[in-house]
Every structure is written in structure tokens, then in C-alpha cells.
């Protein structure tokens, strides 16, 4: 008889976080601390006011407050503190590898140099590696509501850091900003040897997933929920073992799924998709990766085997080299066998 599935087993299960926007881990307490340190005015009187504002009707209502909150991030120390806080938190959730997004245009457009952002984040990453023995990769995301020319400007600013970045992504307002809008920028990133991923099929149609695959030639799909509307696309994704980085609590918070009990994560697994669970913007959407795993497992009555598959898929979908990947998978297998 298999061991029961417990919250403790899920929490400590070795896992990788592949869909996390570091700006989206800005907790209200840190927002207030940085606002005070940098003398930045924010439209909230208290931490409670901020949390009360975290009620969204769609992606855009979230993005509005997300960009407002990012205004408190100004110095290398701020970005380091942001990263350290995130890594300290998810080390308690069994995360042993993380590939995190950052949105440089959110900061450069308000006068913060790219180098300040990157230096601060890499300082936090180096601390996480030393403190938690965590492997970490940093992915630069382009904001899709801005022109492709702006993405090229950002790519030029990133040139001194390209040897430390593992990939590029595409996020922000999806509807009306198809992946094909960034075909040239992604081609340039691919030519530079970076891995490629893009948000597609969150609020946008399944056609956007096709474009991410066929025009951007991505190595991974972020979200991808609406791919389920296209059986031929589902079959293709399953056949190609294309990873989908699914974010259940985010899906509910942004009304893409009405309630967690109706989330399609187990249907994705049943269809042979390499689906994984991640947190997206945990400070805003009600939970870090551990909470996403635990809440989804409870709401969908996931089996122990399904939860382990989701964790295994998080490593299989990573951009790790084969040797490091094998080590993480061996640790996962040992944990499951012991538990």
C-alpha cells in the first residue's frame, strides 16, 4: 500500500521553480520597507491596505498594481534584498533549483540602469547558492505590450550579462500582443545561445501557443492552459514533451479558472502533457510554490504519484545540464523512496 500523501511530504518534495517573476515576490512588508528606505511615495497607508488591493478581475488589473509596486525598487541593494527574500522563502518549500524571470523594462523605463538590476539580482542569486546550495538561473523577459524595438534596446543593454543569463522570456499583457510580434528579437536571442520561453495560452488563445512554437521556436511554454482547446495542439505538445509551467493559484486569482477545484492540471497529466506547478507572482496570488502544490493537490484530490510527476516534470522541463539534472532527479527518487 503506497504511503499517504501529506502536506509535509509535498512541502519537502525536491522541486524546481520555473515560472516565477521576481518582482511578483515583493511582499507588502518589503514594499513598505523599501519605500521608506528610498523615500518613494506609494498609494497605500498600510500593509493591510496593500493586501486588500490584491483582488484582481483579470491580468491587466494585476499588472497595474504590479508595476506600481515595482517603483520602490531602485538600488542594487533593493534587488538583492528582493531576491534573497524569495530564495529564503522557497528553500522552505523544497525548491533546490530555480529559474526566475525579471522584467528589465519595468525598471529601465523609470530610469533604473539595467546594470543596477542585474547586479543586484545576481548578488541575491550568489547568496542563495551559498546559503541554500540551490542552483539558480536568471531569465530576462521582454514586456509584450511594448514594441519589439524596445526589446532590442533591452537586449543591447543586456549584452555584458548574456554569459550569465540562461534565457529570454515574454510576459505582460497577452491579449492583442501575439508571440509573432517578437519573432526577430527571439531569433537574435536564440542566435546568442539563450534558451527561449514565452507566456502563451494564459488569457490569449491556443493560436498564441502555436505561434510560440512555430514562430519563436521556444523551448518551454509558460502557462499554456488554453492549449487544451485544441486537441491537435495537445497531441503535439505531448509528443514533443514540451513543458508547460502552470500556475494554479494565479489562474484562479486572475479568473482564468473559476475555482481551484476545477483546475485542469490533472487532466493535463492524463493527456500526456509535461505539466508542472509554479507560483507566478506569489506575493500577489496567495501562495509560493509549496502552497500551489498543497492547495492544488487538495482541491483536485491528486495522488501521490501525480504530485511526484509534477515535481519530476519541473526538473525535466528545466534548462539544466544533463549532469546537474541527473543529480536532482536522483535526489527526488531517493526522497520518494524514503517517504
Q: What is the C-alpha to C-alpha distance for residues 15 and 12, in angstroms, rounded to an integer?
A: 9
Burial (Cβ within 10 Å: 0-12, 13-18, ≥19) of residue 310: buried
First to last CA, the chain: 13
Q: What distance in Å separates the CA atoms of residue 253 and residue 242, rounded to the nearest whole number?
A: 25
Cβ pair 260, 293 in contact under 8 A: no
Interstrand relation of 167-171 and 15-17 (parallel, antiparallel or unpaired): unpaired
C-alpha cell at position 198: 514565452
Given the residues 202, 203, 211, 291, the one annotated as active site: 202
Mention every residue, 6+ apart, whose C-beta is less than 8 A from residue 265. 246, 248, 275, 277, 296, 300, 302, 310
Question: Residue 248 corresponds to which cell in the numbers above?
Answer: 494554479
Quick check: 120 and 79 in contact, CB under 8 A? yes
202 counts as catalytic: yes
Interatomic CA distance for residues 293 and 288, integer angstroms: 9
Which residues are known to be catalytic?
Answer: 202
Amino acid at each position: 500500500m503506497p504511503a499517504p500523501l501529506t502536506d509535509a511530504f509535498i512541502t519537502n518534495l525536491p522541486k524546481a521553480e520555473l515560472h516565477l517573476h521576481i518582482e511578483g515576490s515583493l511582499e507588502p512588508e518589503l514594499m513598505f520597507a523599501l519605500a521608506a528606505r528610498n523615500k518613494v511615495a506609494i498609494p497605500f497607508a498600510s500593509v493591510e491596505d496593500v493586501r486588500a488591493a490584491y483582488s484582481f478581475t483579470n491580468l491587466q488589473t494585476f499588472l497595474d498594481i504590479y508595476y506600481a509596486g515595482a517603483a520602490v525598487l531602485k538600488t542594487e541593494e533593493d534587488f538583492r534584498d528582493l531576491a534573497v527574500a524569495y530564495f529564503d522563502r522557497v528553500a522552505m518549500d523544497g525548491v533546490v533549483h530555480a529559474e526566475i524571470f525579471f522584467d528589465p523594462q519595468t525598471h529601465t523605463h523609470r530610469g533604473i540602469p539595467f546594470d543596477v538590476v542585474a547586479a543586484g539580482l545576481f548578488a541575491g542569486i550568489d547568496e542563495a547558492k551559498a546559503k541554500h546550495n540551490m542552483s539558480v538561473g536568471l531569465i530576462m523577459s521582454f514586456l509584450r505590450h511594448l514594441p519589439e524595438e524596445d526589446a532590442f534596446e533591452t537586449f543591447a543593454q543586456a549584452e555584458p550579462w548574456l554569459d550569465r543569463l540562461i534565457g529570454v522570456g515574454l510576459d505582460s499583457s497577452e491579449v492583442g500582443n501575439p508571440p509573432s510580434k517578437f519573432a526577430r528579437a527571439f531569433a537574435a536571442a536564440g542566435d546568442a545561445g539563450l534558451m527561449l520561453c514565452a507566456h502563451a495560452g494564459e488569457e490569449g488563445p491556443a493560436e498564441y501557443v502555436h505561434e510560440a512554437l512555430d514562430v519563436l521556436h521556444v523551448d518551454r511554454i509558460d502557462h499554456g492552459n488554453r492549449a487544451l482547446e485544441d486537441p491537435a495542439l495537445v497531441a503535439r505538445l505531448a509528443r514533443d514533451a514540451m513543458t508547460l509551467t502552470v500556475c494554479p493559484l494565479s489562474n484562479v486569482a486572475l479568473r482564468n479558472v473559476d475555482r481551484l477545484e476545477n483546475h485542469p492540471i490533472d487532466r493535463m497529466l492524463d493527456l500526456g502533457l509535461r505539466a508542472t506547478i509554479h507560483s507566478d507572482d506569489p506575493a500577489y496570488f496567495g501562495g509560493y510554490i509549496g502552497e500551489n502544490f498543497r492547495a492544488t493537490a487538495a482541491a483536485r484530490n491528486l495522488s501521490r504519484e501525480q504530485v511526484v510527476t509534477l515535481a519530476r516534470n519541473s526538473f525535466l522541463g528545466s534548462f539544466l545540464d544533463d549532469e546537474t539534472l541527473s543529480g536532482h532527479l536522483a535526489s527526488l527518487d531517493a526522497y520518494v523512496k524514503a517517504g
